[in-house]
């Protein structure tokens, strides 16, 4: 049986932070994706999910300095979970996407994806 851990996201950039570790740039950002459906009253409901993204500069990555809050992006990578204990002593699990490829999207390109 083949095992696959692959994720593709297309959405809006929220928080962005670029740091340097041992001479190599690392990116941490959030991406919001929306899922729209009709509620029980027939009105559209928008469900927004925030995803945490981590990436290292290199092949498949744009210049991290061009990534800005409010921009649109496509992200390909894998999902990773990490368990930790918060300050109250509660066990928690955090999920993040380890990006393999990031592509900045222009507004007109985003419309093509949504059709």
| Residue 115: predicted pLDDT | 39
For residue 110, tell me if it sits in a domain: yes
| Residue 109: predicted pLDDT | 56
For residue 56, tell me if it sits in a domain: yes
Residue spans of the chain under pLDDT 70: 107-115
For residue 1, tell me if it sits in a domain: no
For residue 43, tell me if it sits in a domain: yes
| Residue 106: predicted pLDDT | 84
Residue owning tokens 């500069």? 57
For residue 2, tell me if it sits in a domain: no
Print the domain residue range for 51.
Answer: 7-114
The CATH number of the domain holding residue 43 is 2.40.50.140
Q: Considering its fold, how many domains does the chain have in total?
A: 1
For residue 88, tell me if it sits in a domain: yes
| Cβ atoms of 44 and 51 closer than 8 Å | no
């Amino acid at each position: 049986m083949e095992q696959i851990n692959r994720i593709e996201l297309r959405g809006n950039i929220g928080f962005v932070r670029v740091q340097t570790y041992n001479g190599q740039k690392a990116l941490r950002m959030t991406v919001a994706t929306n899922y729209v459906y009709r509620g029980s009253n027939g009105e559209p409901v928008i469900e927004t999910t925030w995803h945490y993204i981590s990436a290292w500069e290199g092949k498949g990555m744009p210049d991290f300095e061009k990534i800005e809050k409010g921009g649109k992006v496509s992200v390909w990578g894998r999902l990773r979970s990490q368990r930790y204990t918060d300050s109250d002593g509660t066990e928690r699990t955090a999920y993040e996407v380890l990006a393999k490829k990031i592509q900045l999207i222009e507004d007109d390109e985003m419309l093509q994806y949504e059709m």
